[in-house]
Amino acid sequence: MSVFDGLRFRKVYSPIHNLDPRIKFVYVISIFVVAILFYQIIPLLFLFFLQLPFVLLARVQRQWLRSLRGASFLAGFIFIVNVATTYFTSGYTLLAPNVENAAAMTLRFVVLVESFSVFFLTTSPDHLGLALEESRVPYEFAFAFTTAVRFVPVLAEEAQTIMDAQKARGLELEKGSLLKRIRNYVPVLIPLIVSAIRRSLELAEAMESRAWGATKKRTNLYLLKLRRGDYALLAITVGILVVAIYVRLFVPIPTITQLL
Amino acid sequence: MIVAEDVHFSYPNKVEALKGVSLTIKDGEFVAIMGQNGAGKSTLVKHFNGLLKPALGTVRVDGVETKKTSVATLARNVGFVFQNPDHQLFSETVEDEIAFALKNFGFEPEVIEKRVTWALNLLALTQYRKTSPFLLSGGERKRVALASVLAWDPQMLILDEPTIGQDHEQKEKLRQFIMQMQTQKKTVVIVTHDVEFVAECNPRVVLMKEGKIVADGVGKEILTDPALLELSSIVLPQIAQIFTKLSVLGLPKDIIDIYEAKEIILKAQESGLRK
């Protein structure tokens, strides 16, 4: 469940944690867009290392590493599928550019994971809800979203308990063929889904009995306000976007195989 | 036989749940593990079927070290019923649910059929054989979970909070059932907060606090020791409370059994001890 651990927010104070979630989100989306723009490994590597100052400033390196480790399985899968398809389509030859291309695709995925990880690690669910509300998202939706985010670790913990309970009944998750292994997860997924639904119904009842939605017009104790750091991040984001689009359009990007 | 020697365990979030626990549970024993929330009770019993492996120290089940074998192998001898039945029910019918573990252990179809019928009967679930477990009430789901473990007739049984959500009748049935397992020389370990239930069963009691065992002995002694129980945020059983108050009259304090209590009170009344 290390993937979820890499997304779990922990209360720490750092310059990154104090940034406005809206600007941070714009930044993450920009990184996302830039990662999609390029398919060469050099700019993607650059993008990967660009996040490091954020991670270090926010002091979340350990959790961030854990989320990368959690993504490693899927990353490996992407790499293998890419190499395999080019291997078969290029007439059963393994070419260096093909491998490099597969590595670039994998890196693209890793960049997406790392930027989202930084966002969720440094943004509290409350902040996130506030940001949604102030972006004119109806409160019901904002609330549903923050609740969903908040319950991810709870569900992860529950999944662990369910796995334990089924293992105690002789279920061996890592046994059998690939298809069998996937099917092994049915006894874990069904209780997880059922209990999530049951939990949500209970939550709804508990909230309604505490007069949720009684007042139509809500006000907030804390309001989001853009500060100097936020403007700085916005400038950096715009800068990254401009540079990226310029490079994409006008600068020929060599591959590593060409450089060698 | 379960032998834990100096077991230490920490969760990934650095919470040190067990700080050197040594405990031997002999075959055929009935043990209640008690203690406040977070004392490490559940963590300890999860070591008994290998779900958790000690960071330091060893746990041996029938001589086999849990670190060196799989949960599935250990589970054949150690049945573990989790606290919340919703964490394990997934089948379309109660029957399939009970057969799940039997299939995992590779029983023959005819044997599975026989065992399922036996387990359904044992827990008064026969009428729900073809019902979806999700349509049953909380108490019934709990019994299905129990039946699904009992079906393979494990030599040792671990029950995590078995009395939660059960009405008095079901608790009484559970008690009788545990007694029945005792006559078959089976080991039963329960983790519970239900002090009245423990008082009625009078098993060996292991009291835990902050990852350590603070007391280990017969229920009658531990459950009548106010200082010890207060340390673990456990209230004395009601009968023990009464006899603690009555001890000024020279009555014994260490009473938790209702029949024994009745005898003592009647005798005291006869001898004219009144106030």
What's the whole-number average pLDDT of chain A?
86
CA distances from B261 to A250, B175, B181, B205 (A): 94, 20, 26, 20
Interchain pair B87, A187: CB under 8 A: no
Buried b / exposed e over A108-146, threshold 16 CB at 10 Å, is bbbbbbbbbbbbbbbbbbebbbbbbbbeeeeeeebbeeb
% chain B with pLDDT above 90:
62
A101: closest CA of chain B, how far (Å): 37
**Interface predicted TM-score (ipTM) of this complex, two decimals:** 0.86
In this complex, is the C-beta atom of A170 within 8 Å of any C-beta atom belonging to chain B? yes
* Residue to substitute from B46, B90, B142, interface A, most A β-carbons within 10 A: B90
Chain B residues within an 8 Å CB radius of A161: 82, 84, 87
- Mind listing the pLDDT tens digit for each residue in A57-113? 888 888 888 888 888 889 999 999 988 888 888 777 777 888 888 999 999 999 998
Backbone φ, ψ for residue B175 (5° rounding): -65, -45
A260: three-class secondary structure by DSSP: coil
Encode pLDDT of A143-164 as tens digits.
Answer: 888 888 788 888 888 999 999 9
Say if strands B56-61 and B2-10 run parallel, antiparallel, or are unpaired: antiparallel
Q: Do B158 and B78 contact (CB within 8 A), yes or no?
A: yes
From A178, A154, A112, A115, select the one nearest A1 (Cα to Cα). Answer: A154
Which of B52, B71, B158 would best serve as a mutation to test chain A binding (most A beta carbons within 10 A)? B71
Contact B88 A165 (CB under 8 A): yes
Taking CB atoms and an 8 Å limit, are B82 and A164 in contact across chains? yes
Per-residue CA distances from A24 to A30, A245, B142 (Å): 10, 20, 46
Q: Which tens digits make up the pLDDT trace of B216-238?
A: 999 888 988 888 888 888 888 99
Size of interface A-B (CB pairs under 8 A): 64
Strand order in the sheet with B56-61: B16-25, B2-10, B56-61, B64-65
Domain ranges, ordered by start, for chain A = 1-8+15-123+226-260, 124-223
* CB contacts, 8 Å: A170 with chain B: 72, 75-76, 101, 104-105, 152
Please tell me if residue A10 touches chain B, with a CB cutoff of 8 Å: no
- A-chain residues within 8 Å CB-CB of B75? 167-170
Q: Which of B36, B31, B29 is nearest to B212 (CA)?
A: B36
**DSSP annotation string for B168-182:** HHHHHHHHHHHHHHH
Round to whole Å and give the CA distance between A108 and A31: 10
This prediction's pTM:
0.76
Cross-chain residue pair B90–A198, CB shorter than 8 Å: no
A-chain CB neighbours of B134 within 8 Å are 194
Smallest CA–CA separation between A189 and chain B, in Å? Answer: 8
pLDDT tens digits, chain B, 275 residues: what are they?
999 999 999 988 788 999 999 999 999 999 999 998 889 999 999 999 999 999 999 999 999 999 999 898 999 999 999 999 999 999 999 999 999 999 999 999 999 999 999 999 988 899 999 999 999 988 899 999 999 999 999 999 999 999 988 888 888 988 998 998 899 999 999 999 999 999 988 899 999 999 999 999 998 889 888 888 888 888 889 988 888 888 888 888 888 888 888 888 888 888 875 54
Residue of A169, A186, A200 to mutate, testing the B interface (most B Cβ within 10 Å of its Cβ): A169
**What's the pLDDT tens digit per position in A193-252?**
998 998 899 999 999 999 888 887 778 887 888 888 899 999 999 999 999 999 989 888
Span B7-26, pLDDT tens digits: 999 988 788 999 999 999 99
The number of CA neighbours under 13 Å toward the Cβ of B127 is 3
Distance CA(A244)–CA(B89), nearest Å, equals: 52
Distance between CA atoms of residues A125 and A10, nearest Å: 10
pLDDT of residue A1: 45
